[in-house]
Amino acid sequence: MPLIECRKLGRTYRRGRGKSAVEVTPLRQLDLDVEAGQFLALMGPSGSGKTTLLNLIAGIDRPTSGTLHVGGADIGSMTRSRLAAWRAEHVGYIFQLYNLVPVLTAYENVELPLLLHPMSRRERHAKVAATLELVDLADRHDHYPRQLSGGQEQRVAIARAIVSDPSILVADEPTGDLDARAGGAIMALLGRLNRELGKTLVMVTHDAGCAAHAGRTLHLDDGRLSDVPDGEAATAAPAEAGRESEC
């Protein structure tokens, strides 16, 4: 059974108010299977529903039609409180703009998700220290975000996403705010997490070079998914990628 299973998945939003309101449906009748341990890249034009799909998989949003099962859990049937608890246990989210708390150190930012779990201070310290070591930031544990480079901030964000050992990592344009060198380092780190730790990773990207790091690439357009054959993601036209490759 796939770790992530979407069947006829749809999501509709209502945009605007009153008579001027319109319904927007970025996803309709979408089928998708993601196996445990897979690294999947989602590409497609702006507005194609990539981030909507990512947020559904992450439990940030819920579908308006169809079914979505993640690790056997039916996302669409959960209450808001149950969904929040499930997300905290099973999903690590990596944002484009890091979303670090500026008044907290790197250590404190990474520790945040663990405060939702029943564990001692010593257990939290051991997990945070090991995770910062994994992303090569042990010597920056007491630095605030303003004291870090963009690449270091994203590594802190990745450490925060993986410290609770989630079953799924989702990443929304994880290199979108970084230069080529820092972006390459982030993609190398994500590749290690997938290969060495077996993390299932679903990533949205406009960058064909970044998508080439994934084991599978899908193109989403007008609510439909299609496979990008091996090797083609890396040679996609610049217009498809949205900018020169930074990975």
* 88, 163 contact by CB (below 8 A): no
* 145, 155 contact by CB (below 8 A): no
| Digit-coded pLDDT (tens) for 186-215 | 999 999 999 999 999 999 999 999 999 999
* 140, 107 contact by CB (below 8 A): no
pLDDT for 233 equals 54
pLDDT for 237 equals 38
pTM over 0.85: yes
pLDDT for 6 equals 95
- Dihedral of alpha carbons 58, 97, 196, 92, sign: negative
Give the C-alpha distances (Å, rounded to integers) separating 59 from 12, 93, 119, 138. 16, 10, 24, 31
Q: Which strands, in side-by-side order, build the sheet including 168-172? A: 91-94, 168-172, 200-204, 39-43, 216-221, 224-228
Low-confidence ranges of the chain (pLDDT < 70): 229-247
pLDDT for 238 equals 39
Q: Let me know if 27 is exposed, middle or buried by CB neighbors in 10 A (0-12, 13-18, 19+).
A: buried
Pairing of strands 39-43, 22-34: unpaired
pLDDT for 190 equals 96
Q: Which domains does the chain have, with CATH numbers?
A: 35-65+78-241 (3.40.50.300)
* Residues 193, 96: Cα–Cα separation, whole Å: 18
pLDDT for 229 equals 63
